[in-house]
Amino acid sequence: MKYETVIGLEVHVELASKSKLFCSCTTEFGGEPNSHCCPVCTGMPGTLPVFNRKVLEFAVKAGLALGCDITRVFRFDRKNYFYPDLPKAYQISQLYAPVAVNGHTEIKTADGTVKTIRIHEMHMEEDAGKIIHSPDGKTAFLDYNRCGVPLVEIVTEPDFRNAEEVNAFLYRLRSVFKYLGISDCKMEEGSMRADVNLSVRPEGSEEFGTRTEMKNINSFRAIERAIAYESARQIKVVENGGTIIQETRRWDNASGRSYAMRSKEEAKDYRYFPEPDLPAFHISDDEIKRCKDLIPEFAEERAERLVREMSLPEEDAALITASRNLADLFEDTVKICGAPAEVRFWFTGGLLSFINETGRDPEDIALSPEKFAEFAGLVVSGELKREAGKKVFRALLESDGELDLRKFIKENGLETLDDGELIAETVRKVIAENPKPYEQYRNGETKVFGFFVGRVMKELKGRADPAAVNSTVRNILGNSLEKHL
């Protein structure tokens, strides 16, 4: 029998507010253990949570971007569970009136298929702390720096059928959240985490099978592996006449397996009730409109527009728009200097390879469009040749956009050379220094012609016009050939 896998997601994303959800401690990643803590986020008796309104703004933006209805009067609820990563023994979350409901977003898989994924709801909640288990298994060491950092949890409907769709959705989510500037969505730092609800059923069946929930999955690759493993496991159980138990399973990436969690904690009863320490909040139409106005054009739409308006190749447009910072830089630079082809040349060749080589975060590239435009202008006007420009552009990037371009060009002698005599002199020098290729050329091996051009360009630090070098080499070699005959 053929089986179909049915998957729903719960995605936790940490929001990039400066301070925590209910206290003024910093949300900065890292730091000495327990150095970003106060009586509120360590759950001391007598403290009260105070809601950070920036988090609401971020959540509303996220909700709108995911096509959700925004709840006008939202509340917080208490989710009780007893585990040392949560010093209060409850998490402040939202159950009865989550901030956003009933959304949808489109995903595109590699073969170009477009599919709509429905969003059940999105709610705000606080993150938990980190537990370090002692080697003897007796003591839990607790670091509450992450405790109280704001999260949104996005709950999808079970609309996914394979890992590729799941990852397409997560990439889309990451791109949207980064464009909104509300999260860096770094899976490796845990600022984006996915729980996978998975069941299998015979193909064509309308009924859902019993699902399991896999937690602790923290990379796109791990999600693929976890889904492949768990659906194979469930199919095997069903085929052998067994039944799937509804349970939480922990994905262990090192062993490539999922394990049932036997803890009694899994007898889930969170005894939710409305959070008595916080009022209900009301969002006005104006506030929603203000958030709506701040929603940018997202990566995919922007890439399509760049292809349409500037005739960029699709791959280039996708690379450029992958980061909002880079896409803004590209478009603003083109606007200033009006030379899209030149900007694209330096962007895809120079800037993107710089990012790849150095592993820099595209969002941290500080080069200004004015500076980039100044550089592109020098090349367009011919003051700087592309070949010599490579060195300048690299230095510009390495200086974080601070480089004084003209000074650098002058100091390194990189300005364009239109001194025909110097070019000719250099050609003669290169020929004199390379008797062997010259001999080959005279014997009719014209392929060494390129060798001479390359050498001359190098001698001249790429400053000369390649066409001029070409014709000079041709002339001098040709003349010498005639003389020789």
Partner 1 sequence: MRRQKALKYMKTDRNTVLRAAELSKLILTEDETEKMVTELGKLAEIIGNLDIGDISETGSEAAQPVSEAREDEVKPSAERDKILQNAPEHTEEYFCAPDTFDKGGDE
Residues in touch with partner 1 (CB under 8 A): 17-19, 24-26, 32-39, 42, 44, 50-56, 73, 75, 80, 82-84, 87, 95-96, 101, 120, 131-134, 137-144, 157, 250, 252, 257-265, 267, 269, 271, 274, 279-284, 287
Q: How far is the CB of 81 from Zn ion (least distance, A)?
A: 20
243/404 Cα distance (integer angstroms): 70
Q: How far is CA 266 from CA 57, 261, 262, in A?
A: 34, 7, 7
Q: What's the DSSP call for residue 127?
A: P
Comparison of 25 and 107: residue with beta carbon closer to Zn ion: 25
**Cβ atoms < 10 Å from Cβ of 161:** 13
Closest CA to 441 of 452, 428, 430, 433: 452
Residue in this structure with the two tokens 């029998």, named with its chain if needed: 1
Residue in this structure with the two tokens 């959304």, named with its chain if needed: 103
Comparison of 36 and 371: residue with beta carbon closer to partner 1: 36
Comparison of 280 and 341: residue with beta carbon closer to partner 1: 280
Binding partner selected for residue 53 from partner 1, Zn ion, none, CB under the kind-specific 5 to 8 Å limit: partner 1
Q: How far is the CB of 170 from Zn ion (least distance, A)?
A: 30
Residues 24-53 interacting with Zn ion (rule: CB under 5 A): 25, 38, 40-41
Comparison of 72 and 335: residue with beta carbon closer to partner 1: 72
147 binds Zn ion (CB under 5 A): no
Q: How far is the CB of 60 from partner 1 (least distance, A)?
A: 9
Q: How far is the CB of 239 from partner 1 (least distance, A)?
A: 17
Q: How far is the CB of 210 from partner 1 (least distance, A)?
A: 17
**Six-digit token pair at 323?**
């980061």
Binding partner selected for residue 200 from Zn ion, partner 1, none, CB under the kind-specific 5 to 8 Å limit: none
Q: Provide the strand spans (E) within 331-377.
A: none
480/397 Cα distance (integer angstroms): 44
Sheet of 100-108: strand order equals: 69-70, 100-108, 114-126, 150-156, 3-14, 192-202, 212-217, 248-252, 257-260
Q: How far is the CB of 341 from partner 1 (least distance, A)?
A: 42
Q: Report helix angle 466-484 to 435-442, nearest 10.
A: 70
Comparison of 88 and 455: residue with beta carbon closer to Zn ion: 88
Binding partner selected for residue 138 from partner 1, Zn ion, none, CB under the kind-specific 5 to 8 Å limit: partner 1
Binding partner selected for residue 337 from partner 1, Zn ion, none, CB under the kind-specific 5 to 8 Å limit: none
Binding partner selected for residue 101 from Zn ion, partner 1, none, CB under the kind-specific 5 to 8 Å limit: partner 1
Q: How far is the CB of 357 from partner 1 (least distance, A)?
A: 34
Q: How far is the CB of 75 from partner 1 (least distance, A)?
A: 7
Binding partner selected for residue 413 from partner 1, Zn ion, none, CB under the kind-specific 5 to 8 Å limit: none
- Number of chain residues interacting with Zn ion (CB under 5 A): 5
Comparison of 26 and 102: residue with beta carbon closer to Zn ion: 26
Residue in this structure with the two tokens 């005599």, named with its chain if needed: 421
Q: What's the DSSP call for residue 197?
A: E
Q: How far is the CB of 54 from Zn ion (least distance, A)?
A: 15
Q: Could you write out the three-class secondary structure of 86-119?
A: CCCCEEEECCCCCCEEEEEEEEECCCCCEEEEEE
Comparison of 39 and 313: residue with beta carbon closer to partner 1: 39
Q: Report helix angle 163-180 to 299-310, nearest 10.
A: 80
Q: How far is CA 158 from CA 120, 162, 199, 266, 325, in A?
A: 9, 11, 9, 22, 33
Comparison of 40 and 173: residue with beta carbon closer to Zn ion: 40
161/208 Cα distance (integer angstroms): 12
Binding partner selected for residue 380 from Zn ion, partner 1, none, CB under the kind-specific 5 to 8 Å limit: none
Maximum C-alpha span of the chain:
102
The one among 6, 11, 21, 23 contacting Zn ion by CB under 5 A: 23
Comparison of 2 and 271: residue with beta carbon closer to partner 1: 271
The residues with which 115 forms a beta bridge, in sequence order, are 107
Binding partner selected for residue 274 from partner 1, Zn ion, none, CB under the kind-specific 5 to 8 Å limit: partner 1
Q: How far is CA 104 from CA 109, 112, 289, in A?
A: 16, 18, 19
Q: How far is the CB of 261 from partner 1 (least distance, A)?
A: 5
Binding partner selected for residue 18 from partner 1, Zn ion, none, CB under the kind-specific 5 to 8 Å limit: partner 1
Contact between 476 and 443 under an 8 Å Cβ cutoff? The reply is no
Comparison of 246 and 446: residue with beta carbon closer to partner 1: 246
432/443 Cα distance (integer angstroms): 17
Which residues of the shown chain bind Zn ion in the complex (CB under 5 A)? 23, 25, 38, 40-41
